[in-house]
Amino acid sequence: MYRRWLWPGFALPGVVWLIVLFVVPFYTVVAVALGTVDPILFQPVPIWNPLEWNVGWLNEVIHRLGPGGNLTDVALRTLQYVAISLVLSLLIGYPVAYYIARLAGRTKALLLILVIAPLWINYLMRMLAWVNLLAPDGYVNRFLTYTHILSEPRDWLGGRPSTVILALVYGYIPFLILPLFAALDRIDKSHLEAARDLGASRFSTFVHVTLPLSKVGILGGAVLIALPMFGDYYTPNIVSGAPQTSMIGNQIDLYFHGGPQPTIGAAITIVLAAFLTLLMGYYLWTIHRATREARTA
Amino acid sequence: MTHHPKERYGGLNRRDFLLRSAVAASALSGASGLLAACSSSTTAEQETTVGSTGAGEPEPLGPGGLPLARPHKRVELPLWEDPIESGLEPETGGTFTVYNYPDYFYKKLLTQFGKEYGVKVQYTPFDNIASGIQRLASGAVQPDVMEMTPDNLDLAVAGKLIKPINIDYVPNLAKNIWPELVSPFYDVDSHYTVPYTCYATGIAWRNDKVSEDIAAMSQPWDIFWEAEAYAGKTALLSEERETIGMALLRKGELDLNTEDPALIDQAVADLKELYDICNIKIGDIQYQAIPEGTAWLNQAWSGDMIAAYIYYLPKGTPASVLSYWKAEKGNVPVQNDCFSICSTTKKPVLAHHFLNFMLDNGVSYENFVDFNGYQPPLNEIDPETLVTDGVVPENLANCVLTNDDFGPDSLQYMTLTQNGQKLWQDGYSDFLAGGS
């Protein structure tokens, strides 16, 4: 009996953690989105019993996010920003992770610390630092004009989508590099040597061996940064401030910031979570398949 | 729900959201009982029609079923309990908690108050008034006094979150404060509030960057629709009432508390034109952005321009580059903040003394010019004196309000019905979404 529960018992802290910090809060969000609003204080009143759920707010949000709805554009813009940021992050992060994992040698630990170092500083502080750097007379413009890359200072903070995307990339890329590094570092060198021994070029080895074996790391990192990016609202606020670069998170923020419709904010959160579950589902399926293939190999 | 000049990057994060969710049930249970208490004791003045209009239409009501105050429609709020008796000695010892926006009260003055009454004064900040009230309702904080805004007053009273004031303890109110705010339209006889600061909404700009003489324009608000040359440097306040209200004013609509969907839709459509005209931005850092030159043209609160001059003007930049315009009385949105005594106070007498302390001429003036930048409605303050004393440069003298700005014909954003609030919020959501 004791042995039967010993090993599953090790999962208990994690399970409790998940229940307390994920399941309960998420159910609370659902209960708020499908709940009502206190008519005096305009506070959300969660409905805990699924049989009594009120789907009115959720229907309204789905309608507003659908074709012709007033939230369609901001939802598509968010998708676009996250997709571009993800691609850029991969283009930048993969070589960095690859170098650290495969080529850095003794400097591996130091480089890893340098990748993580920005995370020691609060995200908002880092973004506010960029506001100074990107100012018309900031160091970025000074450098670009001094080197004649630009003929005159660029108004980076004038509500440009490119600035928001670059800020997203900067803010989240360490979270992509770390799982990528872990995946690349785990690749058995003998696989690479076998490929080379069989006549594959360096490039071919990378394409046919390294890249497929790092797929789980790529997906893990991508999921890890895509999820918070979808809900981000402070990055566009700080580096842009233009409604034309706002993201769906700004709408959630608006409805929670005050007023009589916090349930709308919760309902948008639910719809966003449902969409993100699809991404997460694909990631989990990929992991499952990779694990199965590894067992059969 | 109006926001406040002191609300900066104050967005709710997920943690706040979950906290809010968790406290909602307790807030509801407390509030429903209060509604019953208020509805049975409403004693509105003659100017207030409660229950029905002459046309047989039901009178729109605010939170808790309380009548909606307007500058031309005075409301006396119900007393949900009797104020404390007169002549009691203030409590001493322990901690006295002031609940307010961050950096909105000079700590030196709070320390002075603490020394005077033998208490330790603690300053507990909130991000915005909505979350502040929410925390108060949840019991997460037990302050003695708090900042209050007139548009949230109904809610706080209906929720029994603030206590009735015995004005006998606050002689400075009648002695030092503008008569218009001694017994204001939103709280006749000052049952729950005393005024704290006041400000107007207008346009701030850098006159070395913006070539138009905005103040001389027939409709100065039009400048935002003519700001092609200032794209990326033009911003509106990040606040649904102010933003949509500005578009209404531009079209000559003076009812800033309208709940007419057609008017709101038109205002939002007008605002959306600004995307392509000047890539309009929204934000509440005009007090810093205008003096530093990162914004050239901004919808702005008057207090922010005084703070801009006092604190944010870079060395070498003369104050003369700052300009501010606000409309004439009757066309300019004005607001005032208040202070109230929280129901959670364990020191109700001392809380009354605090209200009197903050309305002292010396204390109030020092809080304004040495720290806050937001003007108190003191009788002794006038624009000319402030200019003469060098507190405000001559070109920003119009940032100083006078009691004439407040009155029955003033424009003030006030509490809307629940449907009205939805209407304005959804309109702002539409604008914030940014179009295609």
Residues of A in contact with B24 (CB under 8 A): 32, 38, 43-46
Residue B314: give the domain boundaries.
199-333+419-432
Cβ contact B134–A43 (<8 Å): yes
Beta carbon pairs, A and B, within 8 Å = 172
Mean pLDDT of A31-48: 88
Cβ contact A257–B436 (<8 Å): no
Give the whole-angstrom CA distance, residue A116 versus residue A110.
10
Mean pLDDT of B217-226: 98
Lowest mean pLDDT among A82-96, B128-142, B270-284, B331-345: B128-142
Position A23 pLDDT exceeds 90: yes
Cβ contact A157–B232 (<8 Å): yes
Q: Sort residue A259 into left (φ over 0), alpha (ψ -120 to 50) or beta.
A: left
pTM: 0.85
- Give me the helices (H) in B45-176, please: 107-117, 129-138, 150-158, 171-176
Share of chain B above pLDDT 70, in %: 87
* B318 domain-assigned: yes
The burial of B156, by beta-carbon neighbours within 10 Å (0-12 exposed, 13-18 middle, 19 or more buried), is given as buried
Task: Check CB contact of A107 with chain B, cutoff 8 Å.
Answer: no
Q: How far is B55 from chain A (nearest CA, A)?
A: 26
Same domain, B244 and B182: no
Q: Which of B208 and B55 is assigned the larger pLDDT? A: B208
Question: What is the distance of C-alpha B244 from the center of its chain?
Answer: 17
**Across the strands, what pairs with B301?**
B201
For residue A143, name the pLDDT band (cuts at 50, 70, 90). very high
Same domain, B223 and B315: yes
Q: Give the count of domains, chain B.
A: 2
Cβ contact A38–B27 (<8 Å): yes
Position B51 pLDDT exceeds 70: no
Residue B28 has its nearest CB partner, among A43, A70, A242, at A43
Segment 11-30 of chain B within 8 Å of chain A by CB: 11-12, 14, 16-18, 20-25, 27-28
Q: How far is A32 from chain B (nearest CA, A)?
A: 7
Task: Check CB contact of B128 with chain A, cutoff 8 Å.
Answer: yes
Residue A261 has its nearest CB partner, among B25, B64, B422, at B422
Same domain, B189 and B219: no
Q: Which residue of B has its CA nearest to A243?
A: B434
Mean pLDDT of B187-201: 97
CB A222 within 8 A of CB A211: no
Task: Check CB contact of B422 with chain A, cutoff 8 Å.
Answer: yes
Residues of B in contact with A231 (CB under 8 A): 14
Question: Could you tell me how many residues make up chain A?
Answer: 297
Residue A40 has its nearest CB partner, among B31, B129, B294, at B31
Q: What is the pLDDT of residues A228-269, one digit of tens each?
A: 999 999 999 999 999 999 999 999 999 987 788 989 999 999
Task: Check CB contact of B418 with chain A, cutoff 8 Å.
Answer: yes
Segment 241-300 of chain B within 8 Å of chain A by CB: 275, 279-283, 293-294
Same domain, B290 and B425: yes
Position A150 pLDDT exceeds 70: yes
Question: What is the distance of C-alpha B289 from the center of its chain?
Answer: 21
**Across the strands, what pairs with B298?**
B204, B235
Task: Check CB contact of A22 with chain B, cutoff 8 Å.
Answer: no
Give the whole-angstrom CA distance, residue B398 versus residue B383.
7
* B126 domain-assigned: yes
CB B57 within 8 A of CB B138: no
Task: Check CB contact of A158 with chain B, cutoff 8 Å.
Answer: yes
Position B32 pLDDT exceeds 50: no
* B298 domain-assigned: yes
What CATH number has the domain bearing residue B291? 3.40.190.10
Boundaries of every domain in chain A? 71-257
Same domain, B70 and B113: yes
Give the whole-angstrom CA distance, residue B164 versus residue B187.
11
Q: Which residue of B has its CA nearest to A31?
A: B21
Give the whole-angstrom CA distance, residue A97 versus residue A181.
5
Mean pLDDT of B96-114: 95
Cβ contact B12–A234 (<8 Å): no
Task: Check CB contact of A258 with chain B, cutoff 8 Å.
Answer: yes
CB A25 within 8 A of CB B3: no
Residues of B in contact with A26 (CB under 8 A): none
Q: Which residue of A has its CA nearest to B64?
A: A40
Segment 26-85 of chain A within 8 Å of chain B by CB: 28-29, 31-32, 38-46, 70-71, 73-74, 77
Residues of B in contact with A240 (CB under 8 A): 281
Position B37 pLDDT exceeds 50: no
Cβ contact B12–A257 (<8 Å): yes
Residue A243 has its nearest CB partner, among B18, B282, B426, at B282
Same domain, B185 and B169: yes
Residues of A in contact with B422 (CB under 8 A): 259-261
- From first CA to last CA, the distance across chain A in angstroms is 35
Cβ contact A259–B430 (<8 Å): no
Cβ contact A242–B128 (<8 Å): no
Residue A44 has its nearest CB partner, among B21, B64, B430, at B21
Q: What are phi and psi of B303, to 5 degrees?
A: -65, -30
Place of tokens 């554009």: A73
Superfamily of domain A71-257: MetI-like (1.10.3720.10)
Q: Which residue of A has its CA nearest to B272?
A: A243
* B297 domain-assigned: yes
Residues 6+ apart with CB under 8 A from B284: B3, B5, B7, B8, B237, B238, B239
Task: Check CB contact of A270 with chain B, cutoff 8 Å.
Answer: no
Position B50 pLDDT exceeds 70: no
Q: What is the pLDDT of residues A162-171, one digit of tens each?
A: 999 999 999 9
Same domain, B237 and B124: no
Q: How far is A234 from chain B (nearest CA, A)?
A: 8
For residue A195, name the pLDDT band (cuts at 50, 70, 90). very high
Position B41 pLDDT exceeds 90: no
Position B15 pLDDT exceeds 60: no
Position B19 pLDDT exceeds 70: no
Q: How far is B168 from chain A (nearest CA, A)?
A: 30
Task: Check CB contact of A263 with chain B, cutoff 8 Å.
Answer: no
Cβ contact A240–B130 (<8 Å): no
Residues of B in contact with A74 (CB under 8 A): 432-434
β-pairing, B95-100 vs B120-125, is: parallel
Same domain, B322 and B338: no
* B11 domain-assigned: no
Give the whole-angstrom CA distance, residue B96 versus residue A239.
39
Tokens of B178: 């503008």
For residue B401, name the pLDDT band (cuts at 50, 70, 90). very high
Same domain, B168 and B226: no
Same domain, B274 and B361: no
Task: Give the CA dihedral A246, A252, A256, A258, nearest 10 degrees.
Answer: 40
- Residue A294: what pLDDT? 73
Same domain, B120 and B206: no
Greatest Cα pair distance in chain B? 64
Mean pLDDT of chain A: 91
Q: What is the pLDDT of residues B301-330, one digit of tens each?
A: 999 899 899 889 999 999 999 999 999 989
HEC readout, chain B: CCCCCCCCCCCCCHHHHHHHHHHHHHHHHHHHHHHHHHHCCCCCCCCCCCCECCCCCECCECHHHCECCECCECCCCCCCCCCCCCCCCCCCCCEEEEEECCCCCCHHHHHHHHHHHCCEEEEEECCCHHHHHHHHHHCCCCCCEEEECHHHHHHHHHCCCEECCCHHHCHHHHHHECHHHHCCCCCCCCCCCEEEEEEEEEEEEECCCCCCCHHHCCCHHHHHHHCHHHCCCEEECCCHHHHHHHHHHHCCCCCCCCCCHHHHHHHHHHHHHHHHHHCCEECCCHHHHHHHCCCCEEEEEHHHHHHHHHHHCCCCCCHHHEEEECCCCCCCEEEEEEEEEECCCCCHHHHHHHHHHHCCHHHHHHHHHHHHCCECCECCCCHHHHHHCCCCCHHHHHHCCCHHHCCCCCECCCCCCHHHHHHHHHHHHHHHCCCC
CB B327 within 8 A of CB B410: no
β-pairing, B194-206 vs B145-148, is: unpaired
Q: How far is A221 from chain B (nearest CA, A)?
A: 22
Residues of B in contact with A262 (CB under 8 A): 20
Segment 324-383 of chain B within 8 Å of chain A by CB: none
Q: Which residue of A has its CA nearest to B65?
A: A40
* B259 domain-assigned: yes
Cβ contact B283–A243 (<8 Å): no
Same domain, B215 and B118: no
Mean pLDDT of chain B: 87
* B17 domain-assigned: no
Spatial CA neighbour of B103 closest among B74, B82, B127, B134: B127
CB B21 within 8 A of CB B28: no
Task: Check CB contact of B39 with chain A, cutoff 8 Å.
Answer: no
- Is A37 in a helix, a strand, or coil? strand
